[in-house]
């Protein structure tokens, strides 16, 4: 039982360390570049409203594939786009093509009616890939402050320091036991 508890503790602590390092990577790369972090043509977005439930829940993290051609989406696709000064992720209900200019009518799956605007293809960032991680978006959203960014730099460094210190103490004890 003791061995099982030790293994579970190591797994949980390793998972937390990986999550913290991943969040630190996302924050640092977006801070240094001044843009959103893109990994192999994909971006991670935090969902801050329930407009698309049950497809993805409030507080989830979703991945979107950046648009090569923002005018190539079809009815039923879930897209992320700029609307005023925020990002919105909704489903396309209709595609309009007026004189070669493509625009989209959209609706949140959980909303009663369609959106009151049309989305120009130039405002589209990308398409939802179907990959969702529930609740991680709350943590990702919290990391947007300067204090949280500093903390995300400090915690991995502290964990590495403590791990190194524990290794040194264990090695010193082993040497002392061998002398006896």
Q: What strand order describes the sheet that includes 61-66?
A: 38-39, 42-46, 61-66, 124-133, 78-83, 86-98, 101-107, 118-120
User: Given 29, 30, 49, 149, which residue is catalytic?
Assistant: 49
**Residues 28, 15: Cα–Cα separation, whole Å:** 20
Active site residue 118: no
CA dihedral 154, 34, 56, 81 (to 10 degrees): 170
Residues 128, 116, 96, 102: is their CA dihedral positive or negative? negative
Total length of the chain? 180
**Phi, psi angles (nearest 5°) of residue 12:** -65, -45
Active site residues: 49
């Amino acid at each position: 039982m003791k061995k099982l508890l030790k293994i579970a503790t190591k797994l949980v602590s390793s998972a937390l360390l990986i999550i913290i390092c991943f969040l630190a990577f996302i924050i640092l790369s977006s801070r240094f570049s001044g843009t959103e972090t893109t990994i192999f043509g994909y971006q991670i977005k935090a969902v801050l409203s329930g407009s698309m439930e049950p497809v993805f829940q409030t507080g989830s993290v979703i991945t979107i594939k950046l648009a090569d051609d923002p005018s190539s989406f079809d009815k039923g696709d879930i897209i992320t786009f700029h609307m005023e000064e925020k990002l919105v992720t909704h489903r396309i209900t209709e595609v309009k093509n007026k004189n070669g200019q493509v625009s989209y009518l959209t609706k949140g799956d959980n909303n009663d009616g369609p959106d009151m605007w049309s989305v120009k293809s130039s405002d589209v960032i990308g398409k939802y890939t179907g990959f969702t991680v529930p609740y991680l978006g709350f943590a990702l959203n919290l990391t947007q402050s300067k204090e949280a960014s500093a903390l995300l730099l400090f915690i991995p460094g502290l964990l590495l320091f403590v791990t190194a210190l524990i290794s040194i103490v264990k090695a010193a004890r082993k040497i002392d036991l061998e002398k006896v």
